[in-house]
Copies of this chain bind each other. A is one copy, B any other.
């Protein structure tokens, strides 16, 4: 049985309130008493029970982070950055995976509600309405989705997509295929709109697709049939899968078709050919999200919108279009 605050109080001959203050408001207790209490606590292996503390303070010092699919390599850097950053603020981040299921997502949020001070919602699959409703119970910050009235961290997908398309057209590609993502994806919609707005390109939309290698692999034939020579994929995973599919069909990248991905995951750098991609500032997004969330927890929270810059990383999967 772990030592409680009362054990420490008794063993050090002071009242529990003094022990409590020794930990949560040290300046209120006499230096001498404090060291004695700390010594006893150390001796007994006492550690304040955060859950019990949360009951009275209303602060758990925990944050929840919800992602749709933890195996998507896009998320881990974000998660790690968020955890590391939160730790510097004496907060801990618990991660949960919804398995792309909105129901699980909602259930998870409700479970989390009382156990954390706020939740980071990354690429949520829930409807905006559902998010707004749940927001009544716990502070949110949403990453990769625009929900009005809520702190939001966005990455500048439009700009990135624009760079990618300009890069492709600059290489002489006129017919460009856009491999979209899952149907509910905000990022995918942004890409669509950007591509549609780009002048002088002959656009074919292929999808929606699963945001995975399999998703890209599955549409290789369709891409070939479309006659496009340039492809902008929903993300790197899709791009990698596509390249593999094209390869299996004897189509060379970038000789025959140029492919650009989105995210800049590690695997892209090790792919053959190395992937040209729109780099997303995932780590920065993770930190920013934690900042906004903590601010929102403390101040009651303004609905700040942070948009992070993206950039194009040109590697080997794109090249001059055939004459």
Contact = CB atoms under 8 A, between A and B. Distances in A.
Interface of A: 2, 45, 47, 49-52, 54-55, 60, 62, 70-71, 73, 76-77, 79-80, 83-84, 87, 92-97, 99, 104, 108, 110-111, 113-115, 137, 213, 217, 240-241, 244, 247, 266-267, 270, 272
Given A213-B266, A247-B272, A270-B213, A70 B50 contact: no
A94 B94 contact: yes
30 contacts: A2-B114, A47-B110, A50-B111, A50-B114, A51-B51, A51-B60, A55-B55, A70-B70, A70-B76, A70-B79, A70-B80, A70-B95, A71-B73, A71-B77, A71-B80, A71-B266, A73-B73, A84-B99, A87-B104, A92-B96, A92-B108, A95-B96, A95-B97, A115-B115, A213-B266, A217-B270, A240-B270, A241-B270, A247-B272, A267-B267
A111 B61 CA distance: 10
A72 to B, nearest CB: 8
Given A94-B94, A272-B247, A115 B80 contact: no
Contacts of A77: 71
Contacts of A266: 71, 213
- Which 3 pairs from chain A and chain B are nearest by CB? A71-B76, A94-B94, A95-B95
Contacts of A94: 94-96
Contacts of A76: 70-71, 97
Nearest to A111: B92
A295 to B, nearest CB: 21
**Does more than half of chain A's interface fall in helix, strand or loop, or is it mixed?**
helix
B50 A52 contact: no
Copies in the complex: 2
B54 A51 contact: yes
Contacts of A95: 70, 94-97
A178 to B, nearest CB: 22
A113 B47 contact: yes
A282 to B, nearest CB: 11
A104 B114 CA distance: 25
A93 to B, nearest CB: 7
Contacts of A93: 96
Contacts of A62: 115
Greatest chain B CB density within 10 A among A47, A60, A76 is at A76
A103 to B, nearest CB: 11
Nearest to A48: B114
Contact of A244 (B47, B104, B115, B270): B270
A243 B267 CA distance: 13
A268 to B, nearest CB: 11
Given A51-B51, A55-B55, A97 B79 contact: yes
A241 B49 CA distance: 45
